[in-house]
Amino acid sequence: MEKSMVRSISKLLVFVGAINWGLVGIGFFTGNDLNVVTMLLGAWPAVEAIVYILVGLSGIYLLLPGKGGN
């Protein structure tokens, strides 16, 4: 896969992960479960875990100088 495509996908996953964690935090204070990943994939726990792993790996990739980062 081309580096720019990998970087774009990584950015998208990190963005989705950041929004999700922000909603989880808001949900804590409002008494709601706002975890969008769980809402969408809760019936498939293994797929949900894979999404979390991919988000984490994407964050690491974007932090690496000369790889995903600038």
As given in the structure block, the two tokens for residue 36 are 């969008």
Per-domain boundaries in the chain: 3-63
Separation CA 70–CA 66 (nearest Å): 6
pLDDT for 67 equals 66
pLDDT for 2 equals 83
> What is the pTM assigned to this prediction?
0.84
pLDDT for 66 equals 77
Low-confidence ranges of the chain (pLDDT < 50): none
pLDDT for 68 equals 63
pLDDT for 69 equals 62
As given in the structure block, the two tokens for residue 70 are 């600038």
Residue 39: CA count within 13 A, CB half-sphere: 9
